[in-house]
């Protein structure tokens, strides 16, 4: 009986460690046409989760095709592009599974999108759109942001951006 209790406690602790690791530890790599780098070998700027959390937090309350109306919190994509010194007109956002989508950089000034790391006050987990989810202010954007084109730009599980 004591052995069973110890084993159950060990499994619970292991599950907690795995959950915490999958939620809290991630990076965002930005490369391509950028002026500022942190990784000279790969010519990229790598943001740690802690660096992203230290940046000003912005919120968008909106629906998506996959979620009800909910508050998303994260960092302005404009702040990330400014920090890396982005010099392109297009960016490709990549997900953990190598899915990618091209997004014009002009959308950043037009819509003030965020890279959300929280939804409804909870950290995004990989199984729930995390670690980062590109959020447009869909509900405030009228018909344009509700179109199939913009719907396709709501990419999640983002881990890399390439500026072109």
Predicted pLDDT of residue 24: 60
pTM of the model: 0.84
Strands 133-135 and 158-163, how do they pair? unpaired
Rounded Cα distance, 153 and 108, in Å: 12
Sign of CA dihedral 102, 22, 97, 159: positive
The more confidently predicted of residues 6 and 77 is: 77
Domain ranges of the chain: 26-163
Q: What is the CATH number of domain 26-163?
A: 3.90.420.10
105: left (phi over 0), alpha (psi -120 to 50) or beta: alpha
- CA dihedral of 26, 92, 100, 121, whole degrees rounded to 10: 40
Rounded Cα distance, 64 and 79, in Å: 23
Answer whether residue 7 shows pLDDT above 60: no
């Amino acid at each position: 009986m004591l052995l069973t209790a110890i084993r159950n406690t060990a499994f619970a602790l292991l599950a907690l460690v795995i959950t915490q690791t999958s939620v809290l530890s991630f990076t965002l790599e930005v490369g391509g046409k950028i002026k500022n780098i942190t990784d000279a070998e790969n010519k990229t700027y790598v943001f740690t989760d802690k660096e992203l959390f230290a940046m000003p937090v912005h919120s968008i309350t909106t629906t998506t095709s996959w979620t009800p109306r909910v508050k998303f919190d994260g960092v302005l994509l404009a702040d990330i592009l400014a920090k890396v010194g982005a010099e392109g007109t297009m960016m490709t956002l990549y997900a953990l599974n190598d899915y990618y989508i091209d997004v014009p950089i002009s959308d950043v000034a037009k819509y003030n999108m965020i890279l959300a790391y929280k939804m409804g006050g909870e950290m995004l987990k990989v199984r729930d759109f995390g670690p980062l989810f590109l959020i447009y202010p869909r509900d405030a954007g009228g018909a344009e942001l509700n179109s199939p084109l913009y719907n396709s730009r709501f990419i999640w599980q983002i881990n890399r951006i390439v500026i072109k």
